[in-house]
Amino acid sequence: MPVPSTPARPDGLPEHIRHWIGGAFADSAGGAVFDVLDPVSNTRYATAAAGGAADVDKAVEAARAAFPAWAALGNRERATILNRIADAVEAREDRLAAFESFDSGLPITQARGQARRAAENFRYFADVIVALGEEAFRVGDQQINYVVRTPAGVAGLITPWNTPFMLESWKLAPAIASGCTLVLKPAEWTPLSANLWPEIFTEAGVPAGVVNIVHGIGEEAGQALVDHPDVPLLSFTGSTDTGRHIMRCSADGLKELSMELGGKSPVVVFADADLDAALDSVIFGVFSLNGERCTAGSRVLVERPVYEEFTRRLAERAEKVKVGPPSDPATEVGALVHPEHYARVMGYVEIGQREAKLIAGGGRPDHLPEGNYLQPAVFGDVPRDARIFQEEIFGPVVAVAAFDDEAEAIELANATRYGLAAYVWTGNLKRGHRIAHAVRSGMVWINSHNVRDLRTPFGGVKDSGLGREGGAHSIDFFSETKIVHVMLGEVHTPRFGA
């Protein structure tokens, strides 16, 4: 029975989303706006201010004005404010989940955890800045050298459209904790939940100008932020192509960059693995969040003795994944975020059918005649040079291939330009460690899906980005370090010209 395409509208939806600059809402200097669509009906539910260079200038000016006082605040005082932010986020859990699900198409059950994870980011970095020490180096009784960490200045944060609120918190929390002021440019496809930040920061007592939000199209608002001479560091999460463009634009200003880019992460399944656990992990890892996740295990490499069995079971499960309206608690895969992205993912499904064998899904479910819906797709016997094996799809699509031995597993795992995450399933932990060290990726999980420890570095190698965030690595990125050398003994300086 067809499901109506009218989405469940949450209470309190704004008709217009505005910038937040210097502690006040503002429209764009030129009055420009853009339409914001919901992914179920693909119709406009709001407009948003479309920022440009003048709006970014105003936001940077506000951040610069707020910087001296915020940077001078003690770590304990900043930590207190971060914990108040966490309290305010948690108090809005239901509203946030409803907004995030409506705007991004995420199933409501998966959106519900976003507030708790976002709050945890702020609490964690509140703890980090209170506990984080600085280094000192003594040279006998003659000299002591100590490191001073100071806020780097105005930070530019450019965030993606998948789980937008939580991913914004990943950058906001350490930037604020470090003493930076900032300008956030949220993704234009999903600006709704970012509209909650102003009331959260106001309630928590964040001074005006510490956080500024400029909405808009990446090529305009994002470009203006990248180009601004008074923004010395940029943290970006998004596509590899956009990351390259930002690097080129940042070269003249020698800007500090942290970039978490694309991924095509392998899941290596050996015959001695717990196949039930591996199957659950594969399905969750590539189909949760609608498959729109950078660390998705979208290439599944299975040892040949269990390849047929594992692939068959994977296909059977994929056919049973419940695709439905994001607001339905029973939904496991909702609507893809935007019609442009939906067309892109469907294009890869078409390409895949020319390159490999489609063994499950790949079409629109019969009961969902409208909206950005796709039954999760499983392709088998995928050759290594296939585009669906090599290119990031960012949707509920998985490519499966067989390998014969450990050497081939490593070779196939490394056979893409990406290197963000990897997953290894084996009953032999010695082999698990060997594979983990041999695979070129920033992160590896052995016998586990993506379980994140906030203390650990997050990031990739090759075309998956540069730099690391997470734990003290984030504080280091948003800080400048200075070494101070103090002579304690007699100074013995060669007397040139004496």
Residue 422: per-residue pLDDT: 98
Taking residues 374-395, report their average pLDDT. 98
Taking residues 337-350, report their average pLDDT. 98
- Flag whether pLDDT at 1 surpasses 70: no
- Please state, in angstroms and rounded to a whole number, the distance separating the CA atoms of residues 360 and 349: 11
- Flag whether pLDDT at 471 surpasses 90: no
Name the active-site residue from 100, 220, 260, 392: 260
Which tokens hold the place of 222? 């994002």
Is residue 113 within 8 Å of 94, Cβ to Cβ? no
Write out the DSSP string of 106-169: --HHHHTTHHHHHHHHHHHHHHHHHH----EEEETTTEEEEEEEEE-SEEEEE--SSSHHHHHH
Taking residues 261-273, report their average pLDDT. 98
Residues 204-229 have pLDDT tens digits of 999 999 999 999 999 999 999 999 99
Percent of the chain with pLDDT over 90: 95
Residues 418-440 have pLDDT tens digits of 999 999 999 999 999 999 999 99
Place of tokens 């949220």: 186
- Flag whether pLDDT at 299 surpasses 90: yes
Is residue 102 within 8 Å of 206, Cβ to Cβ? no
Write out the DSSP string of 311-349: HHHHHHHHHHS-B--TT-TT-SB---S-HHHHHHHHHHH
Is residue 410 within 8 Å of 396, Cβ to Cβ? no
Taking residues 257-270, report their average pLDDT. 97
Residue 385: per-residue pLDDT: 97
- Please state, in angstroms and rounded to a whole number, the distance separating the CA atoms of residues 460 and 480: 23
Percent of the chain with pLDDT over 70: 99
Residue 133: per-residue pLDDT: 87
Residue 4: per-residue pLDDT: 61
Residues 5-59 have pLDDT tens digits of 677 889 999 999 999 999 999 999 999 999 999 999 999 999 999 999 999 999 9
pTM > 0.85 = yes
Verify whether residue 260 is a known catalytic residue: yes
Taking residues 474-498, report their average pLDDT. 94
Taking residues 183-189, report their average pLDDT. 98
Which tokens hold the place of 392? 């990031």
Please, what is the average pLDDT of the chain?
A: 96
Q: Which residues contact 379 (CB under 8 A, 6 or more apart)?
A: 352, 355, 356, 357, 358, 359, 388, 397, 398, 399, 400
Nearest Cα to Cα of residue 368 among 95, 114, 6, 99:
6
- Flag whether pLDDT at 364 surpasses 90: yes
Residue 416: per-residue pLDDT: 98
- Please state, in angstroms and rounded to a whole number, the distance separating the CA atoms of residues 366 and 206: 49
Residue 411: per-residue pLDDT: 98
Residue 5: per-residue pLDDT: 65
Place of tokens 């060290």: 437
Is residue 196 within 8 Å of 95, Cβ to Cβ? yes
- Please state, in angstroms and rounded to a whole number, the distance separating the CA atoms of residues 297 and 423: 7
- Please state, in angstroms and rounded to a whole number, the distance separating the CA atoms of residues 111 and 443: 24
Is residue 243 within 8 Å of 485, Cβ to Cβ? no
Taking residues 317-343, report their average pLDDT. 97
Residues 129-179 have pLDDT tens digits of 999 888 999 999 999 999 999 999 999 999 999 999 999 999 999 999 999
Please state the φ and ψ torsions of residue 446, each to the nearest 5 degrees: -110, 125
